[in-house]
Amino acid sequence: MNRNYTGRIIVDGTSSEEEQRCVDMAFYILDNDATIRKTADEFGIPKTTVHKKMTETIYDYNSYLGNEVRKVLNRHFKEAPRRGGLTVQRKLREIRQSSEK
């Protein structure tokens, strides 16, 4: 897949399959503001693989793209405890509502 992202990164047809997949995951994260887990589900691979590719391997192919992905992931890492707390609250609320019926 040839793609141009914000006019700065061009991935041509000469890239390896691993490089292309890594770059595709990076574009997916940037385009969809996706988390590691959501990206892993989309690509059908383990989340540890996505994490490794997006925190280490992407820099071998394109450091600018790696830095952009890192910004999104850092924001998600900071928000994770809050999202976890909200999920627990929602589950407790659902349990209370179902027990009241």
What is the share, in percent, of the chain residues with pLDDT greater than 70? 84
The pLDDT assigned to 36 comes to 93
Q: What's the CA gap between 58 and 67, in Å, rounded?
A: 9
- 86's tokens: 């909200």
Q: Report whether 70 contacts 33 (CB < 8 A).
A: no
User: What are 10-43's pLDDT values in tens digits?
Assistant: 555 556 788 888 989 999 999 999 999 999 999 9
- Per-residue pLDDT tens over the stretch 27-36: 999 999 999 9
Q: How many residues does the chain have?
A: 101
Instruction: Flag whether the pTM goes above 0.85.
Output: no
| Domain ranges within the chain, ordered by starting residue | 3-100
